[in-house]
Amino acid sequence: MANVKLRRIEERRLKTGHQWIFSNEIQEVEGNPENGSLVNIYYSNGQYLGTGFYNKHSLFAIRILDKRPIPDLRTMFVERIFAALGLREKVYPNRKSYRMVFSESDFLPGLIIDKYNDTYVLQVNTVGMEKNLDIIVDILHRNLGAENVFTRNSPYFRQLEGLEFTDEIFIGNDDVQKIDDGKVKYRVNFQDGQKTGFYFDQCDNRNFTGELAEGLTVLDAFCNSGGFGLHCAYNNAESVDFVDSSVVEIQHAEVNFNHNVFACEANFIVAEVFEYLKNCADEGKRYDMIIIDPPAFAKQKKNIIPAKQGYQKLNRSALRLINNGGYLITSSCSFHITKEEFLDIIKEAAYKEEKVLQLIRYSGASLDHPIIPSMPETSYLKFCAFRVFDLKQEDPS
């Protein structure tokens, strides 16, 4: 195994559990390690740091796996996959579908495994993981009884790592899976869905949102396969309007709605949300609850300013349409925008719209997306549930 010596760097980051070593932090590579192979890592003073996967083609030159040597990779994978599964079984004892492995958060940098009953959908974002896919698939098959295993890779992350963009079915097929989140049932279509097929990160927040929705008129904007609105319907909302710009996702939302038995009225609308909100304002349409869950506006640092403007405009447009005493349920999945910045954006939007807000819940992603405090990159989702009061109107009863 090759040895890699680091420059004199800020060691605190690595000593507290950050898992990335950048290419400019490397002093010397002894030998010629293959991409994706294990290397021994040493601090500049010669002290042993640990073991990681090496990639000379990436800015992320090493992904640290352990503070100790790793004598057997298969054993390491078995232990970590089962530790990750154990956590999910503990926090979601009644569910069979969740994010089972969340990359760095489960000490498997670059590997995401979403479990849909006995179907396992992988996102492989590092060369080290790609090189060990046979072992990973074999563990899912032999140790967990997987019936279907395939990838739904992200071109963006693979390109950063110098990996080709391909997808593969290793076992079984990628047919529709019927899952549930404990309350709502979904038919997940992997062939034309987004990401691995379902956004598990909002599961706990959908549950909370649904519990507020009885008797309300709801807009689920950026609904994707309908998770938020379906929870509102489950909790007897009066009506839910599902809006997404993707025809395919609106079809998924409708399929999911019909797959459950709800008494609530529902409309499935293909529209661009900014335009939809503007049209509602022009027509005088109002809602008791508006849910906003857009894609990341700031995927990169350089987009922060326009992203903030986008969030502000979106939330202002939503606030304008919310009945006095109603709810604004708003999220941002932009890692580059902090919790404080996001709250400030909403505060400013409320000021401009002459509304007073009452924050009733702030949270992040669901429990199957644990956070490593020394790796802020593992925490990205910001979720806020506000009650909205109109300064110009009577107090709601």
Nearest approach in angstroms of CB 374 to ligand SAH is: 28
Query: Distance (Å, rounded) from C-alpha 54 to C-alpha 223?
Result: 39
Q: Of 110, 197, 227, 310, which one interacts with ligand SAH (CB under 6 A)?
A: 227
223 scored as a contact of ligand SAH (CB under 6 A): yes
Binding part of the chain for ligand SAH, among 83-91, 107-115, 241-249, 383-391 by CB under 6 A, reads 241-249
383 scored as a contact of ligand SAH (CB under 6 A): no
27/309 with CB nearer ligand SAH: 309
Binding part of the chain for ligand SAH, among 4-12, 293-301, 312-320, 354-362 by CB under 6 A, reads 293-301
Instruction: Using the structure block, give the residue that is written with the tokens 């990639």.
Output: 55
Handedness of CA 368, 373, 378, 384 (dihedral sign): positive
Nearest approach in angstroms of CB 248 to ligand SAH is: 8
Beta bridge partners of 113: 101, 122
Q: Of 42, 199, 234, 342, which one interacts with ligand SAH (CB under 6 A)?
A: 199
Q: To 5 degrees, how large is the angle CA 182–CA 183–CA 187?
A: 90
CA 383 to chain centre: 12
Binding part of the chain for ligand SAH, among 85-93, 233-241, 290-298, 321-329 by CB under 6 A, reads 290-298
273 scored as a contact of ligand SAH (CB under 6 A): yes
Residue 97, number of CB atoms within 10 A of its CB: 25
20/383 with CB nearer ligand SAH: 383
Nearest approach in angstroms of CB 27 to ligand SAH is: 42
Write the single-letter amino acid at 375.
Answer: M
Query: Distance (Å, rounded) from C-alpha 318 to C-alpha 2?
Result: 56
Nearest approach in angstroms of CB 360 to ligand SAH is: 19
249 scored as a contact of ligand SAH (CB under 6 A): yes
295 scored as a contact of ligand SAH (CB under 6 A): yes
Query: Distance (Å, rounded) from C-alpha 185 to C-alpha 81?
Result: 26
Query: Distance (Å, rounded) from C-alpha 201 to C-alpha 192?
Result: 19
CB 379 within 8 A of CB 370: no
225 scored as a contact of ligand SAH (CB under 6 A): yes
224/315 with CB nearer ligand SAH: 224
In this structure, the strands spanning 38-42 and 48-54 are: antiparallel
Binding part of the chain for ligand SAH, among 220-228, 232-240, 297-305, 317-325 by CB under 6 A, reads 220-228
For every residue of 220-257, which 3-state class applies, written as one string?
A: EECCCCCHHHHHHHHCCCCEEEEEECCHHHHHHHHHHH
201 scored as a contact of ligand SAH (CB under 6 A): no
Nearest approach in angstroms of CB 199 to ligand SAH is: 4
Which tokens in the block code for residue 303? Answer: 């987009």
CB 241 within 8 A of CB 276: no
228 scored as a contact of ligand SAH (CB under 6 A): yes
Q: Which residues bind ligand SAH (CB under 6 A)?
A: 194, 199, 202, 222-225, 227-228, 244-246, 249, 272-273, 293-295
